[in-house]
């Protein structure tokens, strides 16, 4: 899967951008979104990916063909101008469907959109608690075209991996394919932290430890070059208040961005 969001839509942690991400040597520079799309399409040339663009704001692409994480299924869904790419499997999906009063044909991507809609429109309710209720392995990206927001989360068990990085025009790139991320973002990339969620109006937070702030840890590659930072829970730093979702504020969490 591939998601690209422009810098006006998503403001990632500044530490994700490597200071050596623009070397003079050819082949090591971050790419522009149009080139990143071509890189992704070439990676899945045997099964042309489905894609949808939203002007200069966002781009989503999905391929059902086997990729680097072979055991994980991928689902794409769009409802009411909200779009989700889901990776993994929810073991308690049937229970969640009953809890939310959804139809039996609801898949994981459809459920995630409905859960997001509930948080956005019917708060207040802790977003971290909703994610803790998901049993299984999962990673997903939601683009809300109505609110102009992005929400991404990755399960805590590490069976699904996501990576994020910075493109040449400072857009944010998210993918489960590490080779695509490396080719697209040069040194300005990192694993998306497990047990965490990112909302474009709030920033990066841990749903495993919602009371704690996040901190950036320097990351050096095998060549000794500074890469985009890893992000971990800061066990010694507490937030002033718990993140919550308010119906009037469209995911206006309390807390600060990493």
Beta-bridge partners for 154: 139, 196
Task: Please report, in tens digits, the pLDDT of each residue of the chain (258 residues total).
Answer: 999 999 989 999 999 998 776 544 444 789 999 999 999 999 988 888 899 999 999 999 998 765 555 567 899 999 999 999 999 999 999 999 999 999 999 999 999 999 999 888 876 668 888 999 999 999 999 999 999 999 999 999 989 999 999 999 999 999 999 999 999 999 999 999 999 999 998 899 999 999 999 999 988 887 788 889 999 999 888 876 544 444 334 443 333 333
Rounded Cα–Cα distance for residues 28 and 44 (Å): 22
Neighbours of 45 (CB within 10 A): 10
Percentages helix, strand, coil for the chain (3-state, rounded to 5) are 20, 35, 45
Q: What is the pTM of this model?
A: 0.89
Residues 6+ apart with CB under 8 A from 48: 41, 63
Residues 6+ apart with CB under 8 A from 59: 2, 3, 4, 33, 37, 51, 52, 53
């Amino acid at each position: 899967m591939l998601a690209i969001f422009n810098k006006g839509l998503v403001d990632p942690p500044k530490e994700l951008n490597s200071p050596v991400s623009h070397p003079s040597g050819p082949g090591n520079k971050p790419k522009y979104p149009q080139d990143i799309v071509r890189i992704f399409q070439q990676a899945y040339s045997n099964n042309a990916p489905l894609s949808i663009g939203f002007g200069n704001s966002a781009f989503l692409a999905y391929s059902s063909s086997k990729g680097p994480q072979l055991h994980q299924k991928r689902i794409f869904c769009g409802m009411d101008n909200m779009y989700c790419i889901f990776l993994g499997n929810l073991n308690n999906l049937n229970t969640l469907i009953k809890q939310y009063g959804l139809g039996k044909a609801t898949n994981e991507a459809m459920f995630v959109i409905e859960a997001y809609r509930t948080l956005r429109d019917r708060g207040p309710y802790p977003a971290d608690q909703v994610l803790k209720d998901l049993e299984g392995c999962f990673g997903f990206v939601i683009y809300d075209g109505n609110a102009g927001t992005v929400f991404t989360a990755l399960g805590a068990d590490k069976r699904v991996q996501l990576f994020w990085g910075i493109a040449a025009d400072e857009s944010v790139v998210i993918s489960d394919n590490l080779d695509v991320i490396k080719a697209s973002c040069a040194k300005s990339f990192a694993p998306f932290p497990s047990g965490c969620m990112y909302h474009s109006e709030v920033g990066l937070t841990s749903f495993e430890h919602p009371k704690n702030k996040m901190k950036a840890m320097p990351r050096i590659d095998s060549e000794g070059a500074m890469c985009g930072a890893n992000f971990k829970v800061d066990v010694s730093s507490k937030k002033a208040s718990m993140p919550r979702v308010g119906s009037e504020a469209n995911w206006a969490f309390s807390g600060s961005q990493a």
